[in-house]
């Protein structure tokens, strides 16, 4: 998970450890933390960990027609790239 993502429960726990915040101020801060929308994002699968990487099913593949009538298969992704179709190799 991204290092910039925090759990709401961790933020509330940190607030609870601030012993100098009491009463109304505490309630305001607690309510503000609870009002922050939950990040429902999905962790991306990087190409290097994708089971589709460098296969014909990879959305990052393209085919180049050759002068001799053949077709060359190429991928335009790098190991740290990702797309919305990624499938983790570990999930098999």
User: Is 84 found in the same domain as 64?
Assistant: yes
Residue 33 and residue 67 in one domain: no
Residues 20 and 54 in one domain: no
Question: Model's pTM, two decimal places?
Answer: 0.46
Pairwise CA distance, residues 78 & 58, whole Å: 13
Alpha helices (runs of H) in the chain, residue ranges in sequence order: 8-16, 23-35
Number of separate domains in the chain:
2
Residues 31 and 58 in one domain: no
Range of the domain at 57: 47-91
Residues 15 and 29 in one domain: yes
The span from the first CA to the last CA of the chain, in angstroms, equals 20
**Tell me: the pLDDT tens digits for 30-82?**
888 888 877 766 778 899 899 998 888 888 888 889 999 999 888 888 888 88
Local structure of 84: helix, strand or coil:
coil
- On whether the CB atoms of residues 47 and 81 are closer than 8 A, the answer is yes
């Amino acid at each position: 998970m991204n290092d910039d993502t925090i759990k709401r429960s961790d933020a509330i726990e940190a607030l609870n450890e601030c012993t100098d915040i009491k009463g109304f101020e505490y309630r305001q801060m607690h309510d503000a933390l609870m009002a922050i929308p939950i990040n429902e994002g999905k962790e991306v699968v990087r190409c290097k960990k994708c089971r589709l990487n460098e296969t014909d099913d990879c959305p990052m593949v393209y085919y180049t027609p050759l002068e001799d009538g053949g077709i060359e298969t190429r991928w335009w992704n790098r190991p740290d790239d990702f797309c919305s179709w990624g499938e983790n190799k570990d999930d098999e």
